Structure formats: structure tokens, C-alpha cells
Amino acid sequence: MEVKGHNGTVVWDGAFVTIRRTGFLARASIGKGEKRIPMTSISAVQWKPAGALVNGFIQFTVGGGNESRSKFGSQTTDAAKDENSVIFLKKQMAEFDALRTAIESAIVQRSNPPVSPAPDNLAQLKQLGELRDAGVLSDDEFNAKKSEILGRM
């Protein structure tokens, strides 16, 4: 996903967020170049929607970063100086909102990994029966393990 903003372009490939800065505006503010941030380093996404008279921004919070709270009325100005932020115009806001949603979903998914399924109890019982029939388990060992498995069902 690639989204072009007022002072940079954000590219997200699922593993990295890349902020590219080109042109005069980049040189005048943060500096020309590219910054790649691994998804594992992003802990939050700050968002300020664009209004009729003001630009909005998206900002990526990185662990160990030096975040400071902006004074009222200067959030966008401060974001324009931050290397982890990209300013966008009202007409670009929908694309940046979709980017924000995708990245926040990836952050949530990373912190809540999928739960592995419970072992197949019937397959375990079949395997225990085969081990008993082969003489590897005694009847008492088989019955004890069978009761344990049936207790989980």
C-alpha cells in the first residue's frame, strides 16, 4: 500500500513502514531521503484528521522514541518537523485513514497471536489404543491416559 501525502509518501508492505521524502518541501523540513521502520518497532499510530482549513497527519510511535506533547494549535506544525510523521491534505485523508486502519490491525494481530487449536482427542485415543495393542502401554496406563483425555472433551 502506497499513500502520497503533502510532505512525504508512506509505503507499507506488511513488514516495514517506509517514509519517503523527495523534493523541495522535504529538504526544507526534515530532509530528503527514506526511513524504514520495522512493523515490530511500531507501538502506536497517532492520527489527526484534516479539516477545512488545516492539514492532518499520521505519526508512527516507535519504542524508545522521544515523543513530546504538542501545545494546542501546534500539533500539525510539530508533526511537520517529526521524521516519523507525514502531513496530508483533506483530499488525501481517506487513503491515509485506510493505511492507518491496516497498520493498526497489524499491530493488534501482532499482540494477539492466533491460538493454536486443541489437540485432536480422538486421534490421541486411537494412538493410545495402538500403543496398548502393541504392548507399549499397560491396560492401567492406557485407562489412566484415556480418562485424562476424555476429561478434556
Indicate if 28 and 103 belong to the same structural domain. yes
Output the domain CATH number for residue 24. Answer: 2.30.29
Total domain count, the chain: 2
Indicate if 72 and 53 belong to the same structural domain. yes
Q: How far is the CA of 107 from the CAs of 14, 60, 68, 85, 100, in angstroms?
A: 10, 11, 22, 17, 11
pLDDT tens per residue, range 23-75 = 776 666 666 789 999 999 999 999 999 998 899 999 999 876 655 566 565 67
Indicate if 61 and 129 belong to the same structural domain. no
Tell me if the pTM is above 0.75.
Answer: no
The answer to whether residue 144 is domain-embedded is yes
Query: Which residues constitute the domain of residue 105?
Result: 2-111
Indicate if 52 and 106 belong to the same structural domain. yes
Q: SS3 for 118? A: coil
The answer to whether residue 53 is domain-embedded is yes
Reading the block at residue 52, the C-alpha cell is 477545512
CA–CA dist 126, 139 (Å, integer):
14
Q: CA angle, 49 as apex, 45 and 53 as ends, to 5°?
A: 145
**Which residue in this structure is represented by grid cell 512493523?**
39
